[in-house]
Structure 1
């Protein structure tokens, strides 16, 4: 069958981290555009395989902004937003609800149909338990099968938080916005956990803005960093007028009492228990949120690595302490066929880093990692409470890590901080008042 839309646009690739590089990311062939409400599923191919094959779809060479009027009852498809290995996402007009929506159109291939049904099960669970969408997750509006293509209808959202950071030259968010993001993330994750669901892939790419509008402010300061080897500054900063977000991409979400794959989470947001093969549950989402919040504060990912041993060494540097002896004993306890593969990372129950063949670049990178209090200086009550929350998140033992509900009760969320973020909110409110007044004057 032909897909509902025949127009094509230039799609900016999504990104994946590359260790110790001045460029944080290399393009990924399974990329998905920032305007998409979904991300492509993890690509397990080697990089050689990725570059050898790029999925293609029948499209014309029309101009990017050409509007396409194709009807998939009761929707009028307007524009292709992007495409990935699983299919396409289009912008459409919902004629019944009289508003724009996003439709994810799954390829007519059984493995992609099966994967989408798993995601639909999760989205349906979320929608049925939160009809008013108070918990800030992507909201399922409709689903239908069109010529063997499963179609998933959701609200049309803005770009990802990562893409806003990138467009802002990775200048960090104002502290007030970090707090607002954190409250929404913990609310979403607490909701998931109450439903016995673990997201497993929390990262800035999977957090979408409701509105991309921003105001540019003078910044003129050094940018915080998690590494002593990095020094950046910026004269200006784009600040969102509205820090409202939605959590997306439930393709990897797992019910806690169902099958758990051995490895989950995008590398840089992966909890230590996953790397140590000790099993994972709800706490792995909390560790990911901690990584995200530090990234919001510095503008750069906290753990930029693709190597397990180096990753653990970076964790010890940031947390300023070795991995708990109890966890190390669990890792090293197995024998023979029951031996834990992560046992090779330890020697005499201590992390065996650096090793003889460890590259000098890795040693320098790990040595430059700052301790958490040096990343988040506690010179204000706001930062002091923020640092305390992060310390309760970055706990090696998942059983002792703070939960989402506990985090929402943390004193940090009772603090108020005036900055560019609060000023941007005032600007938005004033503009909204002016729009209402202008609208009223017409009638």
Structure 2
């Protein structure tokens, strides 16, 4: 299957100039960037009532020079519908969620034997289900409330933790029979506690697994510091993609050795038994995981301002280097320290002074991570980028993309910090555009005409969005109808909210040529406000 690559529209170019940066070089890419997701089971405030499978395929895109490039497309399974911040009319919180725990991890020999038995059709060996991963492309999973915690799941999680702490006699016997394979049948490195990687790093526990590899906590035996190691699958296309990320990370560290711009720093990389390994500092949980553990309660407004100032600084630094992140989302924002305190807050809609506990972070310091999809301005641009919930309209309409797509993602993230849940709850392109028009108003005429030329199937009568179509489901129509304008999602009841709303509106502008740049956004009045501490 082939897909046309749409060049960046000329009307986008005046939005960002091309300053000459000393020391910044633009290398040619071997192909589009791909990146593993560090979270083994990433559930969001999205429509998910059951488990989903990962389905991904390879397609080819032809770049402007006529060269065919392989692209990894991760296809999402559409989940059942639910409510979004734009469709929820009360301020209630969702139920807490405990993701399904993985089965205890065994020795490398036993894990390899089980993988081999599974591939041969044996029914006598039980293997743990593969962790689910966020999927990207035309059908993306919807961020929705998750299910209640299960006691059985907690017990299984405890059992998993214990399996990391000790080795059984049976495990010792397995390893004593001779060298064991280090990969499973899909090319993932088999993680074993206390394994020595590169004769230097002693593994502690698995932190996450994605399509492109695993992330483990380890101890650097040279410095005795804890680190995180991303171990890429031993598959050529994933190895090649990881080298693109390494090049970007090296550039970031070269230009900001003291890490004033709060991007993750690459400490070391190496090739271990045919697996590219990237070593970085060990940080806290991602911002999304904190939201999930906090029952998707919104962040305090002064914390949102702290997050925004740091995030905008990080992304502006990338843009100064002519680099576009293309995958900004709460999963790719790590807390340096996720220690928190508990407070009691009123339950909206409840009488008699009912309260619930809420976590408040002790520190809002963050790091921006996951540069596997980052793209230099002058290099090859894949047609579809960004995770669905943060994808700009110009990407959906195939109009090409550049720096403004990062600004749009930041606008979506700020709304999620304010409400606790993602702004757009959808997995369909036309439905997504219809929700955007409810949130931000009708598309500007020029932008709509450009979209109609690129994607005529989404428009009618020239430049009017063709919604709803005859085949649109009742639930889809209901979801769009229930969507609320941005001024209702962020009510401007005081000056703080008024300035916050204005900033988000500028970030979410339909036309990327009219969207505020990230560097200019740092000069917005919102960042000049002194926001008092609240809950």
Summarize the alignment of residues 195-214 of structure 1 with structure 2, pairs less than 5 Å apart.
Answer: 195-214=321-340
1:64 offset after TM fit, Å? Answer: 4.2
Summarize the alignment of residues 20-31 of structure 1 with structure 2, pairs less than 5 Å apart.
Answer: 21=47, 23=48, 27=52, 29=54
Task: Return the match for 1:286 from 407, 421, 434.
Answer: 407
1:24 offset after TM fit, Å? Answer: 7.8
TM-score (norm 2): 0.66
1:373 offset after TM fit, Å? Answer: 1.1
The match for 1:66 is: 165
Summarize the alignment of residues 269-418 of structure 1 with structure 2, pairs less than 5 Å apart.
Answer: 269-319=390-440, 321-333=441-453, 340=454, 342-348=455-461, 349-418=463-532
| Most deviating of 102-111 and 185-194 | 102-111
1:77 offset after TM fit, Å? Answer: 2.5
The match for 1:44 is: 74
* Partners of 1:13 and 1:29 within 8 A in 2: no
The match for 2:187 is: none
Please give the alpha-carbon distance, in whole angstroms, between the structure 2 residues aligned to 1:106 and 1:97. 24
Please give the alpha-carbon distance, in whole angstroms, between the structure 1 residues aligned to 2:287 and 2:473. 33
Summarize deviations over 1:308-365 as a string: whole Å, max 9, x none. 111111001011x2111101222334xxxxxx2x211111121111122221211211
Please give the alpha-carbon distance, in whole angstroms, between the structure 2 residues aligned to 1:16 and 1:217. 23
Query: Which one scores higher on RCO, CA 8 angstroms, separation ≥ 6?
Result: 2
**Considering only aligned residues, what root-mean-square deviation do their CA atoms show, in Å?**
2.7
* Partners of 1:106 and 1:150 within 8 A in 2: yes
The match for 1:128 is: 254
Please give the alpha-carbon distance, in whole angstroms, between the structure 2 residues aligned to 1:119 and 1:291. 25
TM-score (norm 1): 0.79
The match for 2:388 is: 267
SS in structure 2 at match of 1:294 = helix
Summarize deviations over 1:219-269 as a string: whole Å, max 9, x none. 21439xxxxxxxxx9622111111111111111111111111111111111
SS in structure 1 at match of 2:513 = helix
Change (3 A) 1:28 1:409: farther
Which consecutive residues of structure 1, in runs of 5 or more, have no partner in the other structure? 1-10, 31-40, 49-53, 224-232, 334-339, 422-443
Please give the alpha-carbon distance, in whole angstroms, between the structure 1 residues aligned to 2:299 and 2:398. 34
The match for 2:146 is: none
* Partners of 1:87 and 1:105 within 8 A in 2: yes
Please give the alpha-carbon distance, in whole angstroms, between the structure 2 residues aligned to 1:221 and 1:46. 34
* Partners of 1:16 and 1:25 within 8 A in 2: no
1:29 offset after TM fit, Å? Answer: 4.5
Task: Return the match for 1:13 from 30, 36, 41.
Answer: 41
1:26 offset after TM fit, Å? Answer: 5.0
Change (3 A) 1:26 1:402: farther
Summarize the alignment of residues 76-91 of structure 1 with structure 2, pairs less than 5 Å apart.
Answer: 76-91=202-217
1:95 offset after TM fit, Å? Answer: 3.4
SS in structure 1 at match of 2:398 = coil
SS in structure 2 at match of 1:391 = helix
Please give the alpha-carbon distance, in whole angstroms, between the structure 1 residues aligned to 2:253 and 2:228. 16
Summarize deviations over 1:126-179 as a string: whole Å, max 9, x none. 111111111111110111112222111001011111111111111111111111
1:76 offset after TM fit, Å? Answer: 2.7
* Partners of 2:45 and 2:421 within 8 A in 1: no
The match for 1:435 is: none
Please give the alpha-carbon distance, in whole angstroms, between the structure 1 residues aligned to 2:50 and 2:312. 27
SS in structure 1 at match of 2:231 = strand
Please give the alpha-carbon distance, in whole angstroms, between the structure 2 residues aligned to 1:299 and 1:386. 16
* Partners of 2:269 and 2:277 within 8 A in 1: yes
* Partners of 1:17 and 1:24 within 8 A in 2: no
Please give the alpha-carbon distance, in whole angstroms, between the structure 2 residues aligned to 1:240 and 1:215. 7
Summarize deviations over 1:294-315 as a string: whole Å, max 9, x none. 0111111101101111111100
Summarize deviations over 1:362-395 as a string: whole Å, max 9, x none. 1211111111111111122111110110111111
* Partners of 1:15 and 1:28 within 8 A in 2: no
Q: How many residues align?
A: 376
SS in structure 1 at match of 2:74 = coil
Summarize deviations over 1:86-130 as a string: whole Å, max 9, x none. 232221222343321111122222112111101111111111111
* Partners of 2:343 and 2:357 within 8 A in 1: yes
Please give the alpha-carbon distance, in whole angstroms, between the structure 2 residues aligned to 1:218 and 1:266. 34
Please give the alpha-carbon distance, in whole angstroms, between the structure 2 residues aligned to 1:182 and 1:309. 29
Please give the alpha-carbon distance, in whole angstroms, between the structure 2 residues aligned to 1:58 and 1:114. 28
| Most deviating of 56-65 and 399-408 | 56-65
